[in-house]
Structure 1
Amino acid sequence: MRIGTFAKELVSTARQLATPGKGILAADESLTTLGNRFSKINLENTYENREAYRSMLFTTPSLSNYISGAIQFDETLKNKTPEGELLQNILKKSNIIPGIKVDKGLSLLSNDETLTTGLDGLEDRVKYYYSQGCRFAKWRGVIKISNKTPSTLAIEENANSLAKYAYICQSNGLVPIVEPEVLAEGDHDIDTCAEVSTIVYSAVINALHKHSVLFEGILLKPNMIAPGIKSQKKASFQEIAQKTLETLNRTIPPAVPGIMFLSGGQSEEDASCNLNEINQINKGKGPWVLSFSYGRALQASSLKAWHGKNIKAGQEALLHRVKMNSLATLAKYQKENGNGESLHVSNYSY
């Protein structure tokens, strides 16, 4: 098995990323997505502004106290600080493991369902990213819940793509973050989300087995189990935590070192509260480190505070959010009654 060449390194990297009390900063937004966010603060979507924003994030003092890894977009590998140092080197010096998004986005499969593209040429890209210092990768598979979806085709095709991606990454030294996201779109209740997520996660794990992926050398990035965004049946933090843990315990092998939840459009506070409740209920039970790989739920306040020029304010806002989520991984977070603004974006893509 080709993975054997990198087995020890993969396991070591996965464990470092899943360090208790730390999480992952997902800063892998595409040019279009970052442009949409810049438009909300009336900032032009230029290379210089994107570079300045990423520099603000990655040079935040003490960031490594709470962040173990950072997922980047391809362009970020070329970005530098105002002093001319590559951001990639800034991460390494801070003991933050550099990661990279390797998929190419979503394509239509059938019936408004999608399949993630990017397997063509993936091995060469992974080898290049490894040579540039990246040590983990991310690939997002998307599943929708509706009266007609998800179809068996969508579940199986996305599971197989995630497994192929994972094997290619491990064969060339990158820890794959496996991200099966059951979208929050729709009016379904929490039980439906749990039912669909159980089927999806099981299909993904089965596909990973078939492709001989090393489970000790991956991380899972799933959705939390919650009602659809338009559901009339809301759920408490405790209900979401209980259903999430129940679903994971039924589907995910103990060999997986870390489960790094996606925020899925939750408000900054809700993402922290739900993570805290999950760890509160699971405290002392194991088997995984239960942490975060958030994008919007870490960056929203920071982006507003930065506003294109205020580096200190942006960094203070980011540091606050990563610290709050670090506390949540240890079941020590206290609700702040602050920013409960939903960050949901319909049919989100990056």
Structure 2
Amino acid sequence: MSIENLEQIAQAMVAPGKGIIAIDESTNTIKKRFDSVGIENTEENRRAYRELLLTTPNLGDHISGAILFDETIRQKTKDGVPFTEVMKKNGIIPGIKVDKGPVPLAGFPGDVITEGLDGLRERLKEYAQLGAQFAKWRAVINITDDNPSSTAIEANAHALARYAALCQEAGIVPMVEPEVVMDGADSTHDLEVSYEVHEAVLRSLFNALYEQNVMLEGTILKISMVIPGKNAPEESQVDAEDVADATVRVLKTTVPATLPGIVFLSGGQEDTQATENLNEINKLGPHPWPVSFSYGRAMQAEALALWAKDIKGNVAAAQKIVLERAKENGEAALGRWKKRA
């Protein structure tokens, strides 16, 4: 696939007023979500839940793409239609999570490195045949008094860049996701520390992408917002304007203007908080790149809780909530969101 095709896909992923829904939870992660609302973690329940999300009427008005898990990209609707076909018909670009998750970084307690590069070339080839047009790889950066080490930042940036190069070789747009975690047990850092870590991570990432000959025009950045840790003391908590200001400053300092777009992860934020922060970020625009969302929990939590009460009867009502959340975040991606009364 040519760079023009990769550019077109990347641009479509961040079309005005549209964002990406992340439904790529591993079997273990979806178990936690299901457990919290009392649903049994069976393959059929996972399939039914993902069908609910992907067949939401008019979802494509506000959602440009969806990140799937290995199991999900192979699944079909109850009527036997592959999910990827349903998505394409609804104008939603299929994406796939390809990393194998974080493991401890040997020699650096508290730091982690994401695995999954072994065999990735072959897996990407198969995912492209299954219909995936973009992929996602998440690096996890923990903040404590001793973390992250510069080694952890560089090792994760290097892995992200190798992954991105392999994606482009396979004709797939890489979404590179370095998440600076805000809700870990030791997340007591303030806004300034979050800013400094984001700056170091993004500088390292774009250096690595450049060194690995990754074409930025066919790459999407998925990043956390500059935000204090969830367990930071009361006096360190800030409002949406402060989050927006710090986030925009760090992005303008580190992210080249050639990048087609940036999407934020919700990572531990409450549903409305993630939407409000995105809205404030876009009110500070125009920016050198479109700035949108790639939310998982913040898009699904409310709908999942309702569906759990009656998984046969509450499908349409849950889909209505999914569409509302998509619309609200689509408005926030344009800086036009109004808080619900």
TM-score norm. by structure 1 comes to: 0.93
Give the Cα–Cα distance (whole angstroms) in 2 for the partners of residues 264 and 32 of structure 1. Answer: 17
By how many angstroms is 1:247 displaced?
0.2
Runs of 4+ with deviation above 4 angstroms: none
By how many angstroms is 1:83 displaced?
1.2
In structure 2, what is the equivalent of residue 161 of structure 1? 159
By how many angstroms is 1:251 displaced?
0.2
Residue number among 48, 69, 72 corresponding to 1:73 in the alignment? 69
Structure 1 contact 279–290 (Cα < 8 Å) conserved: yes
Stretches of structure 1 that go unaligned for 5 or more consecutive residues are 338-350
- Aligned pairs for 1:39-50 within 5 A: 39-50=35-46
- Aligned pairs for 1:319-334 within 5 A: 319-334=323-338
Give the match's secondary structure for 2:284. Answer: helix
Give the Cα–Cα distance (whole angstroms) in 2 for the partners of residues 101 and 157 of structure 1. Answer: 19
In structure 1, what is the equivalent of residue 17 of structure 2? 21
- Give the stretch that moved more between structures: 212-221 or 34-43: 34-43
Matched, 1:198 2:199: yes
Stretches of structure 2 that go unaligned for 5 or more consecutive residues are none
Give the match's secondary structure for 2:64. Answer: strand
Cα deviation, 1:179-225, whole Å, max 9, x if unaligned, reads 01111031111011001110010000000000010001000001100
Give the Cα–Cα distance (whole angstroms) in 1 for the partners of residues 252 and 331 of structure 2. Answer: 23
Give the Cα–Cα distance (whole angstroms) in 1 for the partners of residues 156 and 44 of structure 2. Answer: 35
Residue number among 269, 274, 291 corresponding to 2:272 in the alignment? 269
Give the Cα–Cα distance (whole angstroms) in 2 for the partners of residues 13 and 78 of structure 1. Answer: 21
In structure 1, what is the equivalent of residue 33 of structure 2? 37
Matched, 1:106 2:102: yes
Give the match's secondary structure for 1:221. Answer: strand
By how many angstroms is 1:64 displaced?
0.1
In structure 1, what is the equivalent of residue 129 of structure 2? 131
Give the Cα–Cα distance (whole angstroms) in 2 for the partners of residues 125 and 255 of structure 1. Answer: 28
Aligned residues: 331
Give the match's secondary structure for 1:20. Answer: coil
- Aligned pairs for 1:86-235 within 5 A: 86-109=82-105, 110-184=108-182, 185=184, 186-232=187-233, 233-235=236-238
By how many angstroms is 1:230 displaced?
1.0
Give the Cα–Cα distance (whole angstroms) in 1 for the partners of residues 173 and 22 of structure 2. Answer: 15
By how many angstroms is 1:87 displaced?
1.1
By how many angstroms is 1:6 displaced?
2.5
Cα deviation, 1:4-40, whole Å, max 9, x if unaligned, reads x531111010001010100001000011111111112
Give the match's secondary structure for 2:6. Answer: helix
Give the Cα–Cα distance (whole angstroms) in 1 for the partners of residues 196 and 340 of structure 2. Answer: 32
Give the Cα–Cα distance (whole angstroms) in 2 for the partners of residues 99 and 165 of structure 1. Answer: 15
By how many angstroms is 1:336 displaced?
2.2
Cα deviation, 1:215-263, whole Å, max 9, x if unaligned, reads 0100000110011111121111000000000000000000111100000
Give the Cα–Cα distance (whole angstroms) in 1 for the partners of residues 275 and 154 of structure 2. Answer: 32
Give the Cα–Cα distance (whole angstroms) in 2 for the partners of residues 259 and 158 of structure 1. Answer: 19
In structure 2, give the amino acid aligned to 1:314: A
Structure 1 contact 306–312 (Cα < 8 Å) conserved: no
Give the match's secondary structure for 2:121. Answer: helix
Task: State, as a whole percentage, how many aligned pairs show the same letter.
Answer: 46
Structure 1 contact 58–90 (Cα < 8 Å) conserved: yes
